[in-house]
Amino acid sequence: MTRFDVLTIGNAIVDIIARCDDNFLVENGIIKGAMNLIDAERAELLYSRMGPAVEASGGSAGNTAAGVASLGGRAAYFGKIADDQLGQIFTHDIRAQGVHFQTKPLEAVPPTARSMIFVTEDGERSMNTYLGACVELGPEDVEADVVAESRLTYFEGYLWDPPRAKDAIREAARIAHAHGRETAMTLSDSFCVHRYRDEFLDLMRSGTVDIVFANRQEALALYKTENFDLALAKLAKDCKLAAVTLSEEGSVVIRGNECVRVGASAVRNVVDTTGAGDLYAAGFLHGYTSGRSLEDCSRLGNLAAGIVIGQIGPRPMVSLADAAREAVLL
């Protein structure tokens, strides 16, 4: 028996989300569709130029944990915050979702991380992230008993930006494998892949990571190719299992010689794509840790992703478990 189904580890970030047009991105030097790392000074500048905004606890792996819990799974989360107002907001929100979160906050600077997210009319989100307290996540924040008692430990590729987090991830993976558990990671962002390609490949090929999540662009970037079939073939060779999202085309999952393609869930209106990949991972991992088929795992992932892109913010505002039961997936 395990205490948790999925443990996620990531950058604990409060999202500040506002709408804008493409001209705003150009005028402010923001790369559309990317996660841009910024310093405190630029964070203040962009915040001053934002229109009306919505604050919502986010962070890729935190969103995934919230999605698992919304589906009825048992989720835990590691992520570093500060003992400040945004840190208190983050703590309240993730616990209110039913996620176990006990990471000790920083008592002083740097402050809790925040990401200014600009959503254009096409629903694309451009993230500008000040990591703040996230850079202080280290091996001392790994709760060994939680890792040992989780069926699967999942972390975000973004953690390769703050240096001490790498040691925390490797320690968590060591504990997980020592207890017969599995590990998973998301490649997070094609720009992140370009920064850490060799290290990501080593995590996969060394067996530190068993399962990989990516979108089409990240998979192509990982192998420096424009041939998607080639990228899939290499993923199948380099890891135990890989799930790749394909936007409106759904997703494809590969495990050895097995390949499963599932179409996307119907979405009436794309409002905000923030969190789509995170919630796909949540649905897939909930199915996977429940012993479901790869096809069912993919359908749960597509369903969760489809729901979150129909709303503002990266965490589900409706019960994913109810939605999955209505779709006869649970």
| Strands 100-101 vs 75-78: parallel, antiparallel or unpaired | parallel
- For 119-159, the pLDDT digits (tens) are 999 988 899 999 999 999 999 999 999 999 999 999 999 99
Q: Which residues contact 49 (CB under 8 A, 6 or more apart)?
A: 24, 28
Domain count, the chain: 1
Residue 77 reports pLDDT greater than 80: yes
- Phi, psi (degrees; rounded to nearest 5) at 156: -95, 145
Section 230-236 average pLDDT: 97
* CA dist list (Å): 43 to 115, 208, 265: 8, 34, 35
In terms of pLDDT, which residue wins out, 71 or 124? 71
Q: Which residues contact 3 (CB under 8 A, 6 or more apart)?
A: 74, 146, 149, 150
CATH number at residue 147: 3.40.1190.20
Residue 330 reports pLDDT greater than 80: yes
Residue type, 2: T
* CA dist list (Å): 285 to 51, 62, 91, 290: 36, 14, 23, 8
Residue 265 has a pLDDT of 86
Residue 276 has a pLDDT of 93
Residue 139 has a pLDDT of 96
Residue 43 reports pLDDT greater than 80: yes
- For 78-125, the pLDDT digits (tens) are 999 999 999 999 999 999 999 999 999 998 789 999 999 999 999 888
d(CA 175, CA 205): 18
Domain of residue 299: give its range. Answer: 4-327
Report yes or no on whether pTM surpasses 0.85. Answer: yes
Question: In 3D, which of 271, 167, 164, 156 has the Cα closest to residue 218?
Answer: 156
Residue 210 has a pLDDT of 98
d(CA 78, CA 73): 17
Section 261-270 average pLDDT: 87
Residue 57 has a pLDDT of 87
| Strands 100-101 vs 13-19: parallel, antiparallel or unpaired | unpaired
- For 289-312, the pLDDT digits (tens) are 999 999 999 999 999 999 999 988
Residue labelled with tokens 């629903």: 123
Count the neighbouring beta carbons within 10 Å of the beta carbon of residue 23.
Answer: 9
In terms of pLDDT, which residue wins out, 58 or 177? 177
% of the chain residues with pLDDT over 70: 100
Residue 7 reports pLDDT greater than 90: yes
Residue 268 has a pLDDT of 79
